[in-house]
Amino acid sequence: MADGRSNPGELHVWEGEFGGPIGLDPDVSLIYLGRGKAYMEQEQYETAARDFGEAIRLDRGNPLAYDMRGEAFLRLKRYDEAIGDFSEAARIAPGVSLTFVNRGKAYMGLGKYDEAIGDFDAAIRLDPDASEAYDKRGEAHMRQGSYETALLDFTEAVGLASGVSLTCLNRGRARMAQEQYEEAVAAFSEAIVFAPTDPTAYVDRALAYGKLGKSELAVRDLETALGLGPDDGDRIRRELAELRSGD
């Protein structure tokens, strides 16, 4: 018979063997972690947080349990609780870059951009190749209106992880905020190369084309975005109608 503990990603195995309280043996802390991970994959974040909490109760010295519960709280937008868990994980194991990235995200959720930037700085010191830390730090700078600084971080992030479409989008939006529309078009075009079926970059590039007076290109991008089944199709149709009526 298959051992459920050998494959924590399969939720039905974990539920079959450990449907209720798993037990009080400290060695089963890892079982709670595994089942919690399975719940995370199923987007059952409340249930996952409870399992991670049990893992912490059984082994309070395991930084991974705090990190994982912090991530569950982050997904639930319970930012203060996430910060508490990431802070405890960082206290136990201060050399993990991702812990600081995640705590920075939680600070971002609270609008505490200075604290977030401090955490992204720490993450980069620990891992100079942490592309996500550069990307998120750039986003924090952009929200503070520091567009040039944000662009430096987005550029660094692209260099470290050239397949990250969101970084290109963020760079393009920073250029839009500076009214540098040609540069914005280039950034959105790069995002499309990395994610050609994502309508967001087409919509953003259409806006940049509109600012440049290139209505035909803007119309083409909006039509492409509609063909990709966007969530905000009604808004795009309105923008398309306005562009066409201006021709």
* Distance in angstroms between the alpha carbons of the first and the last residue of the chain: 69
Say what the pTM is. Answer: 0.64
The answer to whether 99 and 93 have CB atoms below 8 angstroms apart is yes
> Which structure tokens are listed for 156?
């660094």
Q: Rounded to an integer, what distance in angstroms lies between the CA atom of residue 148 and that of residue 168? A: 15
pLDDT tens-place string over residues 174-209: 999 999 999 999 888 888 877 778 889 899 999 999
Averaged pLDDT, 7-22: 39
Q: Rounded to an integer, what distance in angstroms lies between the CA atom of residue 125 and that of residue 90? A: 14
What domains sit in the chain, N to C, each tagged with a CATH number?
Answer: 163-247 (1.25.40.10)
Q: Rounded to an integer, what distance in angstroms lies between the CA atom of residue 124 and that of residue 5? A: 35
Tell me the three state secondary structure of residue 93.
Answer: coil
pLDDT tens-place string over residues 16-68: 333 444 444 546 788 898 899 999 999 999 999 999 999 999 988 889 899 99
Q: Is the pLDDT of residue 218 over 60?
A: yes
Query: What ranges make up the beta strands (E) of the chain?
Result: none
Averaged pLDDT, 76-104: 95
